[in-house]
Amino acid sequence: MRIAWLTDIHLNFLLTEQTLAFLRLVRSAQPDAILISGDIAEAHNLHRYLELIDSELAKPVYFVLGNHDYYHGSIAGVRELVADICEGHPRLKYLTQSEAPIELTPLVALVGHDGWADGRFGDYEKSIVQMTDWQLITDFIGRGKRERWPILQALADDAASHLRRVLPHALENYQTVLVITHVPPLREACWHQGRPSDDQWAPHFACKAVGDVLLDMARTHPHRTIEVFCGHTHGMGRCRPRRNLLIHTGGADYGEPQIQRIFEL
C-alpha cells in the first residue's frame, strides 16, 4: 500500500494549468491512496477542487479540512457541502464525518478530524496575531476576541471527542493507527520558521484538546503506534512526544503545493 501525504496545498492560489500539473505529479508517484491534512482551497471553490482531485487522481482520497477551507462560508455549511460532495464521489472520504476507522492494511488503520486551534497553548489573551479566519468565516465575523475563544474551544473539543470515540476501536484492532488532522495537536509540533511557535502564535497554531487525547491514547495503548500527519503552520518538523506517538507537521508555501511524503505500509 503506497501512500502520498499532502497538506496545505491551497489550490485556489494556482492557475488551473498549475493545479492540473500538480495533480499529475501526485498521480505519477503512483499512490494507492492519498491523505490530505487540510487547507485544500476555500468554501466557495472547494466543490470544484475536490471534484478535480477525484477525477485526476482516481484513487481513494482521505482528507480533513483546514481553516482556509471554510473561508467565505460557515463551518456547518461547509461540512454539509462536503458531505454532499463525498456522497456523489465514493473515492473521497472526509474523515471528520467518518465514525469508523478506515482499514488501509490488516495492520494499519486511519482516522482523522479537522481539529481547530483552541488558544490553550501560549498566551491567547496577550496575542496580537490576527487570523484571517476572523474576517472570512461566518461563525467569527463581528465577534471580539473574548467572544471567539469559547467557539474555538468548542470546535477543538468536538475534534477531541471524535478522536476519543474512534481511536480506542482502531487501537484495539490495528498495530498502527494513522491520524490526520489540520492543526498540530501539541505545542512542540507547531513548527514555525524552524522552531516551535512562541506564545504569540501557539494559541492559533495548536489544538491542545486533540493533543491531550493523543497523549492519553498513547499512554493507555503502549504496544500500539500512533502516527499523526498535520499542517496549518506551514513549517515542517517532526516530534516524538512519546515512544509510540510520532507527529509529522508538513511544510508549505502558498502557490507551490508539494508532496510531503510518499511511504509504503
Q: How far apart are CA 51 and CA 180, in angstroms?
A: 21
Taking alpha carbons only, the member of 7, 212, 252, 38 closest to residue 121 is: 212
Q: How far apart are CA 149 and CA 227, in angstroms?
A: 29
Contact stretch for Fe ion (CB under 5 A) within 70-78, 109-117, 207-215, 224-232: 224-232
Please report how close the Cβ of residue 133 comes to Fe ion at its closest, in angstroms: 9
Contact stretch for Fe ion (CB under 5 A) within 1-9, 125-133, 172-180, 200-208: 1-9
Taking alpha carbons only, the member of 245, 204, 240 closest to residue 224 is: 245
Please report how close the Cβ of residue 66 comes to Fe ion at its closest, in angstroms: 4
The cell numbers describing 134, all together, are 476572523
Q: Which amino acid is at 165?
A: R
Q: How far apart are CA 68 and CA 203, in angstroms?
A: 17
Q: How far apart are CA 180 and CA 95, in angstroms?
A: 8
Verify binding: residue 197, Fe ion, rule CB under 5 A: no
Please report how close the Cβ of residue 245 comes to Fe ion at its closest, in angstroms: 22
Query: Strand, coil or helix: what is 101?
Result: coil
Query: Is the distance from CB of 184 to CB of 205 less than 8 angstroms?
Result: yes
Please report how close the Cβ of residue 188 comes to Fe ion at its closest, in angstroms: 18
Verify binding: residue 118, Fe ion, rule CB under 5 A: no
Verify binding: residue 185, Fe ion, rule CB under 5 A: no
Verify binding: residue 184, Fe ion, rule CB under 5 A: no
Q: How many CB atoms lie within 10 A of CB 105?
A: 13
List, in sequence order, every residue forming a beta bridge with 153; answer none if it has no partner: none
Residue entry with cell 508555501: 253
Q: Which is nearer to Fe ion, 14 or 177 (CB)?
A: 14
Give the gyration radius of the chain's Cα atoms: 17
Q: Which is nearer to Fe ion, 53 or 217 (CB)?
A: 53
For Fe ion, the binding residue among 67, 96, 98, 181 (CB under 5 A) is: 67
Verify binding: residue 8, Fe ion, rule CB under 5 A: yes
For Fe ion, the binding residue among 31, 60, 66, 257 (CB under 5 A) is: 66
Binding mask 11-40 for Fe ion (x = CB under 5 A): ----------------------------x-
Q: Which is nearer to Fe ion, 241 or 257 (CB)?
A: 257
Binding mask 71-110 for Fe ion (x = CB under 5 A): ----------------------------------------
Please report how close the Cβ of residue 219 comes to Fe ion at its closest, in angstroms: 28
List, in sequence order, every residue forming a beta bridge with 230; answer none if it has no partner: 249
Footprint of Fe ion (CB under 5 A): 8, 39, 66-67, 232
